[in-house]
Chains A and B, each alone.
Chain A
Amino acid sequence: QQPVQSPQAVILREGEDAVINCSSSKALYSVHWYRQKHGEAPVFLMILLKGGEQKGHEKISASFNEKKQQSSLYLTASQLSYSGTYFCGTAPETSGSRLTFGEGTQLTVNP
């Protein structure tokens, strides 16, 4: 089942912060975050694993609440380059990296 992302869209000024949420009705093994620029392939940002392990970029942080099957992506001091659509992809225990993606959150950072 597809994870639900919120908000659907957010507009920021450069330097502001944003939080993007992702929730699933299924028990999760991992949550993956990607950013996609228009017409381009998604680019990996971060993976959060059951048990607390994280892999990803230093300037981007995220949390994974295993009990609630929710993840949040924190974008601080946003830059113009942060603009794009953010997708969370979820994988239950048995699927490896066979991800089910949410509908995306469109982030626009203005000067």
Chain B
Amino acid sequence: SQTIHQWPATLVQPVGSPLSLECTVEGTSNPNLYWYRQAAGRGLQLLFYSVGIGQISSEVPQNLSASRPQDRQFILSSKKLLLSDSGFYLCAWSPVGGRGTEAFFGQGTRLTVV
């Protein structure tokens, strides 16, 4: 069966520090991968998605970047965090060619920038 791992679960970082959040998927090949961010009490905003190794599309301009160094690994990074980067970050995957298929979410990372 497929599983998605996301870590860490919580993170407190000072303004200006770097960020690296990691997400891995097991039990499937060539998944579509997504990073979402959720501000408190708000909906989920798509940040990045990837359909293959090295293929990253950004939905909104921001202080963050994403990379996919391996088929089932998706990394969210920042060189210098801003206060506005605080939020709940969720990684998700869907099957290849996934039109009309559900997205499976990881347990999320709650990031607080102080």
Residues of A within 8 A of B (CB): 2, 29-30, 32, 39-44, 47, 49, 53, 55, 87, 89, 91, 96-104
Contact = CB atoms under 8 A, between A and B. Distances in A.
A30 B101 CA distance: 9
Interface string B2-44: 0000000000000000000000000000001010100000111
Contacts of B46: 98-101
B44 A101 contact: yes
B108 A41 contact: yes
B38 to A, nearest CB: 9
A97 B94 contact: yes
A8 to B, nearest CB: 10
Name the 10 nearest CB pairs between A and B, nearest first: A97-B94, A41-B105, A101-B44, A44-B102, A101-B43, A103-B43, A97-B98, A49-B100, A96-B99, A96-B98
A97 B102 contact: yes
A1 to B, nearest CB: 12
A39 B109 CA distance: 10
